[in-house]
Amino acid sequence: MENFPLNKVVRLIEPGPVVMVSTLQQGHANLMTMGFHMMMQHDPPLIGAIVGPWDHSYHALRANKECVIAIPGVDLIDKVVDIGNCSGNEVDKFARFGFTPRKAKHVAPPLVVECLANIECRVADMQLVDQYDFFILEAVQAWINPHRKEQRTFHHKGDGTFSVSGRTLNRQDRMVRWKQFQD
């Protein structure tokens, strides 16, 4: 994994991929699958995320206020869907699904080696957690796997179907107001 600049984390999150959230509680790492998230601010990078009491990870995130957002390639879709359909209460998800944890740099929860990218996050704001299960996370370190063969992400269409990211269209020449984000 290679270091990825924090002010470019927007490039990983804004397209809206399905992600996994890695947490750690009392020595147990857990994974959940997440589709309700967004970029809120470029730099320092803030990410909004819904993690609810129905998620085992919710309690770890509330308690320890750290997580890793891992972005899987589409080759991992079946494992990622299955991780979203069982509970960390019952299953050691890293072991069951064959994901490899790796020590993060700034947070306690582990990175997920097999993913396209990993974003180490700290909870920055919990004002809307009680009312909406809405956490604001600040990215404090990011990593990418640029040599990974499959770089396509997948996006939940809300009903158990997923669209795979397709070809890239470059419109940088038209983005005259936002040139600072193209470096």
The site for a second copy (CB under 8 A) is made up of 8, 10-17, 35-41, 46, 48, 50, 74, 77-78, 81-82, 84-86, 127-128, 132, 134, 136, 152, 154-172, 174-178, 181-182
> Judged by CB, which is closer to a second copy: 101, or 133?
133
The neighbour count for residue 178, using CB atoms within 10 Å, is: 10
What element of type H or E holds 60?
A: helix 56-64
Check: CB of residue 137 under 8 Å from CB of residue 146: no
Tell me which residue of 64, 93, 68 sits closest to 81, measured CA to CA: 93
Give min distance, CB of 103 to a second copy, in A: 28
Give min distance, CB of 143 to a second copy, in A: 17
Give min distance, CB of 157 to a second copy, in A: 5
Write out the two tokens for 115: 């993913």
**CA gap 4, 25 in Å, rounded:** 26
How close are the terminal C-alpha atoms of the chain, in Å?
A: 21
> Judged by CB, which is closer to a second copy: 27, or 159?
159
- Virtual CA dihedral for 149, 159, 32, 74, nearest 10 degrees? 0
**CA gap 18, 10 in Å, rounded:** 15
> Judged by CB, which is closer to a second copy: 147, or 169?
169
> Judged by CB, which is closer to a second copy: 103, or 176?
176
> Judged by CB, which is closer to a second copy: 31, or 108?
31
Give min distance, CB of 48 to a second copy, in A: 6
Give min distance, CB of 8 to a second copy, in A: 7
